[in-house]
Structure 1
C-alpha cells in the first residue's frame, strides 16, 4: 500500500467507529453528515481490502482485521492530536535547556543581570550563553540557529527575514577619571578632538559615534583602542584619558570607580537598542518566552537610566 494514497482523515473515522460502533453516532462525534461518514467507511474498506465493520442487529461490529488495526490507529490519532496539532507549549519552570544570546560586552553588563534574577526564580533549569560577534556575522548566526536572540545595536539586522522589537533609546556620554583636568570646565570641540581618547571596539565593531564624527570631518586623537568596555575600570583612574561611551557603560563603570561626566560640545547621535530574531523562530514557543522575558526586564521609558 502506498502511504500517499491514505487519507489520514479516514483514520479518525475508523477510530471513532471502533468507539461508537455506529455510523450515526460517529457522524455526530466527528461533525460529518451520515452520508459522508458512510462514504468514508467505504473508502476504508477499499483501502484495507476488508469489510472492517459489519452490521449486526444493534451495532457495527469490527472484523478481526479491524480489531488488529484498532490499537495502532488509536496511537496514531492520539499522537496527531497531542503532539502535532496541539499548539506548542513551553514551561520555563520545568525546562532544562540552553539559549544563546548574541550581544556585545555592554549587553552582558546591561541586559543580563535582571534576566538572571528572573531565571533564578522562574526558570532555574534554563542556561544562558552570551556570545559576541562582529555585526556582519550576526545575521548568519541567527539564520543558522547558532544564536536564539540578538540584543543591542544591530543595524545590519534591520532587513527582511528578521523581526525586531525596540527596548529603549540611548545616547553617548563623555567620561574621565574623577581628578581629570577638565573637572568643572566646559570643553570646546577643538579641545575635545585634541584630547587623549580611549576608543572601545568590541570585536572590531564600528560604533555609530565613529561614523557620525567622521561624516562631519571630525577626527579624535586616539591614544588607546580596546576590545572591552569594562577595561575602562582599570585604565581611566589616574590618567588624562577621555572615553565617549554609551550611557549604560558610563553608568556601569561609574559604579566601580569615581568618574566625572563631561558635557560634550555637540549633540551626540541616538542609539536605538532592540532585540532581533530570525523569522523561522518567530512562532517557536521557547523563543517567544525568551524574548518576552528580555523585553519585560530591559524595556525602558525615554530618558530612563540603567538600573539593576
Structure 2
C-alpha cells in the first residue's frame, strides 16, 4: 500500500479509537458525528483487510493486527503533529544570520548607522547586506526570498506584501552653511533663480518629487543631475547650489558637511517611509524580530 492510497484522517480516527474504545467518545473528541466515525472505520477495514476493532461490552477492542499497528501509527501521527506545531525560534544574542535589506542610498545614509549600532548591542553576530532598490527587480527578489525586507518610499510594493509605517516626513531645501539663502524663508522666486543639483532616483518614490515640481509649472535652473544622494552633501558643501531632499536625510547631512536647510517653498506632499516584507516571511521568526527592532528604533510611534 502507498501513502496516497490512504486518507490521513482515517489514521487519526484509528488512533483515537485505540485510546477511547468507544465510537461516541471519538466522535465527540474529533468534532464528528458517530456515523462519520463508523464510516471512517469501515473504510479503514477495507483498506487494511482486517476488522481492526471488535465490539464488546467493554467497548471496541483492537484485533491483534490493530494492536500491532498501534505503536508505529501513534508515533507517526505524533511526529507529524509535532512537526506542524513546531515554531522555530530566533535568538538574536547567538544568531549568526545575515539579513539582506533593500533600500536606496538615501535610506542607507539615514538608517544604517543607527541600525548597526543597535545590532552591535542586541545581536552582535548578526550581519547585514544591503541591495539598492534600483539595482534589482525588488518585487521578484523579495518573492524569491533573496531580500528579507525593504525600507523606504516604495509604492510599487502592494499586492502580496505587508508594510509597517515608520515615519512621515517632508521635503526641504538644503544648502551650505553661510549660503545667501540661509536663515530666512525662501521665496518661490529665489528658489527658481538658484542653481540646483537634482537627484534622479528611478525605482523609488523620491523620483516623483521632480515630476510634482514640473507639473506645477515651476522651472528650475538645474546645473547638475546625479543618480544618487551619496554625493549631494559633498557637492552642496563646496558650491552655492541647493537641493530638494527628504528632511531626515537633510538632518544627517548637517554636521558632517556643514549644511543647513529650510522649509521648501513649493507646496509638496509629505512622504511615508515604511518597512515592506513579502507575505511568505510574515511569520518567519527572524524576519519578525528584525522588523520589530527596526520599528522600535526608527518609528515615530515607538518613540512616542
Q: State TM-score, norm by structure 2.
A: 0.79
Deviations along 1:137-178, whole A, 9 cap, x unmatched? Answer: 333333333323221111222x43333332211011212111
Q: CA 1:270–1:136 in structure 2 vs 1: closer, same or farther (change >3 Å)?
A: farther
Alignment of 1:221 onto 2:221: yes
Q: Aligned runs of 1:236-247 on 2, under 5 Å?
A: 236-247=236-247
Partner SS for 1:140: helix
Q: Summarize the alignment of residues 1-308 of structure 1 with structure 2, pairs less than 5 Å apart.
A: 1-16=1-16, 20=19, 23-24=21-22, 27=25, 31=29, 40-52=40-52, 60=61, 63=64, 66-67=67-68, 69-84=69-84, 86=85, 88-93=87-92, 95-134=95-134, 137-157=137-157, 159-202=158-201, 205=204, 207-300=207-300
1:178-203 deviations in whole A, cap 9, x for unaligned? 13233345443233223221222346
What SS class does the counterpart of residue 217 from structure 1 fall into? coil
Query: Measured at CA, do residues 251 and 72 of structure 1 come closer, stay the same or move farther in structure 2, by a change above 3 Å?
Result: same
For residues 62-101 of structure 1, the C-alpha deviation after alignment (integer angstroms, 9 at most, x for no partner) is 625752x4454234212321112x1644324355533322
Q: How many residues align?
A: 298
Instruction: Measure the CA separation in 1 of the matches of 2:43 and 2:228.
Output: 69
Encode CA deviations 1:271-300: one digit per residue, 9 max, x unaligned. 121222334444444433333332222211
Q: Point out where structure 1 has 5 or more consecutive residues left out of the alignment.
A: none
Tell whether the 8 Å contact from 1:135 to 1:154 is kept in structure 2 after alignment. no
TM-aligned CA deviation for residue 131 of structure 1? 1.1
Q: Distance in 1 between matches of 2:34 and 2:234?
A: 81
2-structure distance, mates of 1:215, 1:139: 29
Extract unaligned runs of 5+ from structure 2. none
Structure 1 residues 117 and 283: alpha-carbon distance in aligned structure 2, compared to 1, 3 A threshold: same
How far residue 10 of structure 1 moved from its aligned partner, in angstroms, is 2.4
Post-superposition offset of 1:263: 4.4
Residue 124 to residue 49, structure 1, CA distance change in 2 (3 Å): farther
CA shift, 1:246, in A, is 0.6
Q: Give yes or no for contact 2:182–2:260 (8 Å, CA) kept in 1.
A: yes
Aligned partners of 1:30 and 1:274: how far apart in 2? 48
Shift of 1:36: 6.0
d(CA) in 2 for partners of 1:250 and 1:218?
Answer: 23
- Asked if 2 retains the 8 angstrom alpha-carbon contact of 1:167 and 1:298, the reply is yes
